[in-house]
Structure 1
Amino acid sequence: MLRFMDWSVVAMGCVLVLLSLASRWWERTEVRKGRSPDQGMRFFGAWLPLLVGLGLVGARMPSLLVAPHPVIMIADTLDGALWVTVLILVLRAVRRGTRARSPRNGWAPPRP
Structure 2
Amino acid sequence: MMLGFMDWSVLALGCALVLMSLGGWWWERTKVRKGASPDRSRRFFAAWLPLLMGVESIGAKVPHLLHAPYSVAMIVDAVNFVLIFTVALLAFWMLRERDLRTNG
- What TM-score do you get using the length of structure 1 for normalisation? 0.85
Compare CA radii of gyration and give the structure with the larger one: 1
User: Which stretches in structure 1 are left out of the alignment for 5+ residues?
Assistant: 104-112
Aligned counterpart, 1:62: 63
1:76 CA drift (Å): 0.5
TM-superposed CA distance for 1:25, in Å, is 1.4
Q: Give the aligned partner of residue 19 of structure 1.
A: 20
Tell me: CA distance 1:102–1:35, structure 2 relative to 1, closer, same or farther (3 Å): closer
CA distance in 1 between counterparts of 2:30 and 2:99 reads 29
Q: How many residues align?
A: 103
Give the drift of 1:39.
Answer: 2.8
Unmatched 5+ stretches in structure 2:
none
Alignment partner, residue 93 of structure 1: 94
Percent identical residues: 52
- Structure-2 separation of matches of 1:30 and 1:101: 21
Please provide the CA RMSD for this pair.
Answer: 1.2
Q: What is the TM-score when the length of structure 2 is the normalising length?
A: 0.91
